[in-house]
Chain A
Amino acid sequence: MTKRKKTTWLRIRGSLTPRQHLTLGVLSFILPVGLWTIVSYVPFVWHPMMRVSDAGDASWFSAGELVDRDAFAEENARIGTLKGHPAQGTPANPVFLPPPHAVAKALFTGFTTPPARPEEPWLHQALWHSIQIIFWGFFVSSMIGVPLGIVCGAIPSIARLTEPFIEFFRYLPAPAFGALAVAVLGINDAPKVAIIFVGTFFQQVLVISNTARRLEPALLEAAQTLGASRKHLLTRVVVPGIIVDVYTDMRVLLGWAWTYLIVAELIGVSSGITFFINQQAKYRAYDKVFASIVLIGLIGLATDVLLARIGRRLFPWLPTAKRRGRRILPVETNRSGPGGSVGPDEDSLPLPQPVLAADNAVST
């Protein structure tokens, strides 16, 4: 019977087979792109406009123009009553929804097409500028936020001294500080970095301190009975004990930093990928707008995959360490982390555990 090896797709909290993993991961991209493709290329799906190929006797049409479908029909009906030459055209989508092939083409030609005006940046220059803004904003935030978060998580008095204010401050929208940042830091890159910082830092402290608080208390107690001082507890237990989770947090936070990028780049002199996108929108080159947005996504995804790969090398004690990744999106959501596993150990872990040997017999 075929029933014996039935694959379950909707199992609750089960683990996926490698095949399911890959298939579903690829599907998650194919589905939206497929939808976009259908809307773009199947004439009877949506297509609210008509692209005029021959204006005929229509007084206000010109060839190549996009016209509302209702207006097009109305005009042709009017021409019909006058026994004139009707306008010709094909169903089309609005200019802001370019078809996939146009975006794909823009993606490839984007880097080779010189800017419309010589003082404008090339696409790669704009992107590189954006990446630098992100990097510095996130770097400065992390240099302060990570140590502060860890200390807050470890020492309740410091947490109480800082966290209520941070909790208040994180509700203030970062863009609200735009004008202030420009007044203090000038109109160039400094205020943009500052906005990324404001957007990231306060969340970062709270996220990291919460991660630090999740450290298994028994590990701290064990270290204390081994004679660890306060300094040792912090540097040799808390930090290594949470570093994996902090690393995951940082990957999530880096994503948040990107969301502040567009706002940050509008402040002062508009720059980077935001400026590029806005310019292309002005030229009504929406294929390039889409290409730029896709590029941001690709850079974000690539960074995350890269960081996940690096993470597997950085933390050799993880059960997943150095395993060849089969994941399309390797965001580990396993927040139980490595912190002291209490209770039945091997069996509860979803991944096959290499138990090296049974207890070898005792009697000596």
Chain B
Amino acid sequence: MSASPSSSSIISPSSSNFLEIAAPPLYRRQAPEVAERFRKLQERPVILEVRALSKTFEGRSGPVLALDRITFRAHRREFLCIIGPSGCGKSTMARMIAGLDRPSSGEMLLDGHPVDGPGPDRGMVFQGYTLFPWLTVRRNIMFGPQVSRGLSDSEAAIEADEWIEIVGLSRFADSYPHQLSGGMKQRVAIARALANRPRILVMDEPFGALDAQTRAQMQAYLLQIWKQVDITVVFITHDLDEAIYLADRVLILDAHPGRVRELMEVPVPRPRTRDQFTSTEFTAARQHLDELIHPPAAVTVDPEATRVRRMTVVGDDVE
């Protein structure tokens, strides 16, 4: 194949060589600016280092290994998504990073220091709405600064109002959570977590309960906020498009037990828009994730195995 510098190689010099010599899969091909971004990203200090983290639950028939020696690193201001099939322990992973669950073995370093138990340095946004129903939007956001930094009412209120402005809810500062829609509640939850100035923001399927349109808005919102704030995001999701749309890198977990399958660099350039959903990079990444998470065999339904008796009139067919 060592083609001599002929006329054909002059027409497309780099790509043909690239294909023939390295032959990386489509999803690995990065535009130069994307590759440059990842190089810079790797140079940033490591914020979160997870080392051989395992979690065992006591099941009915003995211990069950939920997460098996998970190891990865997140760099400062990285957007890391964790995806995997259901049962891969991604929620447990989020809860362990937040300190709500304790790992059975392994360790976790935040800024190089081991962490144990929940703390204000790791903010968390849950899937369910966990706003305090008895506090107004402003007071919900004031909660963190007050309990973790001991700010006075007026100081905390000033900070809270800035965050309310950022998430665009100034008109609702004095509303109670039950008066807000689902998307607005999650915006308050994000503001509440960020008001504490955490080092990382752990988000456990935060938009899972929202309808498709609101979810799309929230994703765009989150990217805006992430761009403006010094925050590293660890985002748990089972939505592949969401992961590719948001993430710098995607950590793919296997299920039973949860193991790291791959850490994929998303080739889609930033800034991200929804128009990119049909771009070559996006579809390539999407296809790769599909293959990893939904292997073809698991999706097709074997008609013999799931034989359903006909319960309709002959001729009244729908397909």
Question: A residues near B, CB below 8 A?
Answer: 216, 218-219, 221-229, 232, 236-237, 240-241, 243, 315-317, 319, 338-346, 349, 353-364
Contact = CB atoms under 8 A, between A and B. Distances in A.
A360 B185 CA distance: 13
Q: Determine which residue in B148, B178, B179, B184 has the highest number of CB atoms from chain A within 10 A of its CB, and name it.
A: B178
A236 B217 contact: no
Contacts of B214: 359
Contact of B120 (A222, A227, A356, A362): A227
Given A225-B122, A225-B193, A363-B220, A236 B168 contact: no
A206 B192 CA distance: 34
Contacts of B147: 223, 226-229, 232, 236
A219 B135 contact: no
Nearest to A363: B220
Per CB-CB distance, the 5 closest pairs between chain A and chain B, nearest first, are A227-B148, A227-B120, A342-B128, A226-B144, A222-B130
Given A341-B178, A342-B129, A362-B224, A226 B196 contact: yes
B85 to A, nearest CB: 23
B82 to A, nearest CB: 17
Interface string B133-162: 111100000011001110000000000000
Interface string B107-124: 000000000001110111
A125 B134 CA distance: 42
27 contacts: A219-B132, A221-B98, A221-B130, A222-B124, A224-B100, A225-B99, A226-B120, A227-B144, A227-B148, A232-B147, A240-B134, A241-B132, A315-B134, A317-B177, A338-B134, A339-B133, A340-B129, A340-B131, A349-B178, A355-B179, A356-B175, A357-B171, A359-B181, A359-B214, A360-B168, A362-B217, A362-B224
A217 to B, nearest CB: 10
B196 A227 contact: yes
Contact of B178 (A218, A232, A241, A317): A317
A322 to B, nearest CB: 12
Contacts, number: 129
B134 A225 contact: no
A226 B196 CA distance: 7
Nearest to A222: B130
A354 B133 contact: no
Contact-residue size bin, chain B (C-beta under 8 Å from the other chain): 35 or more
Contact of A343 (B119, B148, B209): B209
A223 B143 contact: yes
Contact of B124 (A225, A345, A349): A225
A338 B132 CA distance: 9
B168 to A, nearest CB: 7
B38 interface: no
Given A219-B130, A338-B134, A225 B100 contact: yes
Contacts of B218: 359, 362
A221 B149 CA distance: 18
B221 interface: yes
B126 interface: yes
Contacts of A361: 217
Given A356-B175, A359-B181, A362-B224, A224 B99 contact: yes
Contacts of B118: 221, 224-225, 227
Given A223-B147, A345-B185, A362-B218, 4 more contacts: A221-B98, A226-B147, A341-B133, A356-B171
Given A227-B120, A227-B148, A355-B181, A362 B220 contact: yes
B176 interface: yes
B181 A346 contact: yes
B211 to A, nearest CB: 10
Nearest to B132: A219
